[in-house]
């Protein structure tokens, strides 16, 4: 197995690093403190192709492998995990639309989304359907003209500030479970849509989070993604990539935290010498670096599995998400500890990285659900060698 990146991949990563330093680093703390959604910066990311990294070419995307996308997301997340995480969600929704939308819908929305001119939200979670996503209750009733949607969604990133919604809704009866769910493209300003208050959150403050209510929202029939009943499968395919994306954001946050801790240890003096000279702190730094490399390699392995359409890709995506998000939060916390009291104040960025990284252990499937996915694969009678 070749662990080295190609020159093209390195160049892509460098472009993302340069963008992050120029467009995110100077403003990330202000966006966080004021709760500002940086559409202008996201549009600039779109100019570089970062809003359609793995969306298909016929939708205007770059159709890159997921592995290459992780390189971009990691570099940006090292500076601003919150804004980067929204860009990853937008990429996921754009990929879904580009892959399963009917031609007219793809031709209209694809170029707008992949360039970052318009933005997308992904709508799966409901007030009573989080980890048990197959129990969602939002309904889409078929009519002569298309569909009428009623229901609500919760914890939707970008809600109220985006232009299109990729929505999962029930078209079958409640007993149909996952097989009765379908996916739709819904204009975010369609009559009958209303948005709840902007949630006050621990982190991810550069992107708004709101509930969305649907009251007899009418959409044309051609706004169905794929076929009726395929929505849950589409959602799960999206979440495999989404889990890699969020794991990558944790790796990026940890990389940013580690770099700051390394520099701080060289600069900070106690007892007449740099704290980098104390072996106990050297060991802490060494453990952080080791965990970071392990998390990064696990994420890249999972991305490679997904690119290869491996039968165990979902399992590896779950493992990467579980490990990288847990390890990433721990590394941010350890880096803050190395800064002492300075790490706790907003003049330094450690507290923001820590707050932004915490939610990664919850979304795209909690880490407890990741363990369920992994264990089921290992205990499947048809897959005794599931983890090799």
Tell me the catalytic residues. 364
Nearest CA to 119 among 217, 39, 35, 47?
Answer: 39
Candidates 318, 146, 115; CA nearest to 228 is 146
Output the DSSP codes for 13-26.
HHHHHHHIIIIITT
Q: At what angle do helices 279-307 and 313-338 cross, to 10 degrees?
A: 160
Both tokens of residue 148?
């009428």
Cα–Cα distance between 72 and 53 in angstroms, integer?
9
**What is the longest distance spanned by two Cα atoms in the chain?**
80
Residue 168: other Cβ atoms inside 10 A: 26
For residues 86 and 92, give the distance between their C-alpha atoms in angstroms, rounded to a whole number: 10
Q: Which two tokens stand for residue 94?
A: 């754009």
SS3 186: strand
Whether 208 and 121 have beta carbons less than 8 Å apart is answered as no
How far is Cα 284 from Cα 338, in angstroms, rounded to an integer?
A: 9
Q: Are 78 and 231 in contact (CB under 8 A)?
A: no
């Amino acid at each position: 197995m070749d662990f080295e990146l190609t020159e093209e991949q390195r160049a892509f990563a460098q472009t993302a690093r340069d963008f992050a330093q120029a467009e995110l680093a100077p403003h990330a703390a202000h966006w966080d403190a004021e709760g500002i959604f940086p559409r202008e910066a996201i549009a600039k990311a779109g100019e570089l192709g970062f809003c359609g990294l793995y969306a298909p070419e016929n939708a205007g995307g770059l159709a890159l492998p997921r592995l290459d996308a992780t390189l971009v997301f990691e570099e940006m997340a090292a500076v601003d995990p919150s804004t980067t995480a929204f860009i990853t969600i937008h990429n996921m929704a754009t990929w879904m639309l580009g892959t399963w939308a009917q031609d007219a819908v793809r031709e209209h929305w694809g170029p707008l989304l992949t360039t970052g001119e318009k933005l997308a939200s992904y709508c799966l979670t409901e007030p009573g359907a989080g980890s048990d996503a197959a129990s969602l209750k939002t309904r889409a009733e078929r009519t002569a003209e298309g569909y009428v949607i009623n229901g609500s969604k919760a914890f939707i990133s970008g809600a109220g500030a985006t232009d299109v919604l990729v929505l999962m809704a029930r078209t079958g009866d409640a007993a149909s479970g996952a097989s009765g769910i379908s996916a739709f493209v819904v204009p975010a300003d369609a009559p009958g849509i209303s948005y709840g208050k902007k949630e006050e959150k621990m982190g991810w403050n550069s992107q708004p989070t709101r509930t969305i209510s649907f009251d007899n929202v009418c959409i044309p029939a051609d706004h169905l993604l794929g076929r009726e009943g395929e929505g849950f499968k589409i959602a799960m395919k999206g979440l495999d990539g989404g889990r890699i994306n969020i794991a990558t954001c944790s790796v990026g946050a940890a990389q940013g935290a580690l770099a700051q801790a390394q520099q701080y240890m060289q600069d900070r003096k106690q007892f007449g010498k740099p704290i980098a000279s104390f072996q106990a702190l050297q060991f802490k730094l060494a453990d952080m670096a080791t965990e970071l490399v392990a998390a990064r390699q696990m994420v890249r392995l999972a991305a490679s599995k997904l690119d290869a359409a491996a039968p165990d890709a979902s399992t590896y995506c779950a493992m990467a998400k579980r490990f990288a998000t847990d390890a990433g939060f721990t590394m941010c916390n350890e880096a803050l500890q190395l800064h002492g009291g300075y790490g706790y104040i907003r003049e330094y960025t450690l507290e923001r990285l820590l707050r932004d990284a915490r939610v990664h252990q919850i979304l795209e499937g909690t880490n407890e659900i990741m363990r369920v996915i992994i264990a089921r694969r290992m205990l499947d009678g048809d897959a005794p060698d599931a983890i090799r």
